[in-house]
Amino acid sequence: MKKLVIVDGSGFLFRAWFAFPPMINALGNNQNVLYGFTRMILKLIDETSADYFIIARDSPVKTKRHELYPDYKGTRPKIDDDFKQQIPQVHKLIEELGIATYQAPGYEADDIIFSFVREYQKKSDLTLEVVSSDKDLKQLLQANVVITDAAKNQTTTLLTFQQEWGFSPEHIVDYLALIGDSADNIKGVAGIGPKGAMTLVQTYGSIENIYDHLGDLSPKLAEKLSVGKEDAFFSKKLIELMQVPQIQGIDLERWQSSKNIEQWEQILLNQYGFSSLQKLLESLKKKYAMPQQLGLF
């Protein structure tokens, strides 16, 4: 059984920014994101032993959700200039290492992850691991698809999700549409919190079915839902993941994970001076070293 790992690259960038202290090089430039992102990716390659590996990247331009809702993610604080200037450097280094990335104008990393999972999920000889902390991606869970939150070192399977949430993964979108998402400036339904939303989704499943059964609910709850109906459906539209058309038909072999560890050592240790990565690179070398060809006698 082969394994495809798809990483939320945008999430890893922010993790690197907040998790690693400033690292000033000889030129006076901070490299904490560059170093932190690379270290986390190499550690993931080491731990997952992936046959195929993709880093999903956010669109460099406004997304299709911004076209629907100009205030999408409008409450987020401005990105620090120090962080922003390191992003192109990260992309350049990852390209030098030969690690595959994918980006599509107008689409977020989550849409790319969604599209890749949909493209390859039916392959009988493949398991898929999505590495992201985003709850909306949990809708992708199935027998051969797991979600790993690397920050918490926690992997969610179809079974553990159902045990924790009490409904099918596809309905996480309905749950999130009810409670909203302040990080993305998505309203949800005023007065509906996580506990109430969970009960509604456990009982009725989809937003559509919830609104078909308003008469079964208490007058107070039904009133909240009635007032917030437009927000509920619009929130669901924003939260639903989008299919990236360009991904359809891409051969899986394109994402075969290149592990030229000697080249990585040359780049990371000699060119970039990331000497503290040496132990991790040695671990990778032991795992992925090419077997010596036996001589013929």
Q: What is the structure's pLDDT at 292?
A: 44
Closest CA to 127 of 272, 211, 277, 252: 252
Q: What is the structure's pLDDT at 295?
A: 44
Query: Which strands make up the sheet holding 2-8, listed edge to edge?
Result: 101-102, 52-56, 2-8, 126-131, 145-149, 154-156
Residue owning tokens 């290492």: 97
**Structure-block tokens of residue 130:** 């999505």
DSSP designation for 6: E
Q: What is the structure's pLDDT at 246?
A: 97
CA distance 185 to 138: 20
Provide the residue type at 130 as one letter.
V
Neighbouring C-alpha atoms within 13 Å toward the C-beta of 45: 31
Residue owning tokens 């070398």: 285
Read off the pTM.
0.94
CATH architecture of 165-239: Orthogonal Bundle (1.10)
Whether 12 contacts 58, CB under 8 Å: no
CA distance 75 to 184: 7
3-state secondary structure of 276: helix
Q: What is the structure's pLDDT at 259?
A: 87
pLDDT tens per residue across all 297 residues of the chain: 999 999 999 999 999 999 999 999 988 999 999 999 999 999 999 999 999 999 999 999 999 999 999 999 999 888 899 999 999 999 999 999 999 999 999 999 999 999 999 999 999 999 999 999 999 999 999 999 999 999 999 999 999 999 999 999 999 999 999 999 998 999 999 999 999 999 999 999 999 999 999 999 999 999 999 999 999 999 999 999 999 999 999 999 999 987 899 999 999 999 999 999 999 999 999 988 755 444 443
Where do the domains of the chain lie? 2-158+242-288, 165-239
Cβ atoms < 10 Å from Cβ of 295: 5
Using CB atoms within 10 Å of the CB of residue 292, give its burial: 0 to 12 exposed, 13 to 18 middle, 19+ buried: exposed
3-state secondary structure of 287: helix
Q: What is the structure's pLDDT at 293?
A: 45
3-state secondary structure of 168: coil
What is the CATH class of 2-158+242-288? alpha beta
Helices 32-48 and 278-288 cross at an angle (nearest 10°) of: 30
Q: What is the structure's pLDDT at 296?
A: 43
Q: What is the structure's pLDDT at 95?
A: 96
Closest CA to 207 of 228, 223, 186, 187: 228
Q: What is the structure's pLDDT at 290?
A: 57
Q: What is the DSSP string of 176-196?
A: HHHH-BGGGTB---TT--HHH
